[in-house]
Chain A
Amino acid sequence: EAQVTQNPRYLITVTGKKLTVTCSQNMNHEYMSWYRQDPGLGLRQIYYSMNVEVTDKGDVPEGYKVSRKEKRNFPLILESPSPNQTSLYFCASSRGSFRGTEAFFGQGTRLTVV
């Protein structure tokens, strides 16, 4: 089954404790991206990757890091989480650019930073 898998689904952590949210896709897609969803703001892009070792900032990259060492995986790293990073996070992948081709989303990771 074609899918994007995120882990964990839920996470509560404390300020400053480094964490990683994993994302894996089994569709051999080149494009991958991370979004955060906040009430009243919709989905905002954090980082994206157009292929292995090619990543770039989206609209809200501050406080986040990513890496793309393999085509299928695109982890999101919070080196020192803060309460304003409490949000619902989605990973997405697409065969081509997100323009014109359907993006597939993971089920989401709800992160709470206390």
Chain B
Amino acid sequence: DQQVKQNSPSLSVQEGRISILNCDYTNSMFDYFLWYKKYPAEGPTFLISISSIKDKNEDGRFTVFLNKSAKHLSLHIVPSQPGDSAVYFCAASAEQGAQKLVFGQGTRLTINP
């Protein structure tokens, strides 16, 4: 049972435009969410996170939005750059079970020049 779902396996965006990556979750106990970015032949690296007490968190070109009622979060990248081409994983955790991150399937983002 996939508790964290990224329904778009891939996304292609023009350089300079906005990239929007989506993530849905089913477990209402999840209250902390993270995005990781992965380049080929490397391990995932932390990008940005959000706690359920917020609905938005910004870090430079990256903004994460959380809609708790819809159990949905999204990552916005503005403006998109060629170096943003990577696989993006959404992850979630609950206060009980804080040692566990539950990951989505990943979305491959390609930024076209």
Q: Which residues of A contact B (CB under 8 A)?
A: 4, 31, 33, 35, 40-45, 48, 50, 56, 58-59, 90, 92, 97-100, 102-108
Contact = CB atoms under 8 A, between A and B. Distances in A.
B100 A42 contact: no
Q: Which of B4, B9, B32, B103 has the most CB of A within 10 A?
A: B103
B4 A98 contact: no
Interface in B56-96: 89, 91, 93-95
A22 B19 CA distance: 37
A68 to B, nearest CB: 13
Most chain B CB inside 10 Å of its own CB: which residue of A44, A56, A92, A99: A99
B103 A99 contact: no
Given A33-B99, A50-B99, A90 B44 contact: yes
Contact of B99 (A4, A35, A48): A48
Interface in B14-31: none
B98 interface: yes
A4 B44 CA distance: 12
Contact of A103 (B2, B46, B105): B46
Contact of B32 (A41, A45, A92, A99): A99
Contact of B106 (A31, A42, A58): A42
A73 B37 CA distance: 25
B89 A98 contact: no
Nearest to A38: B105
A114 B4 CA distance: 31
B53 interface: no
Contacts of B32: 99-100
A105 B45 CA distance: 7
A105 B103 CA distance: 14
Contacts of B113: none
A9 to B, nearest CB: 9
Contacts of A48: 99-100
Given A105-B45, A107-B41, 4 more contacts: A4-B43, A33-B99, A92-B43, A100-B51
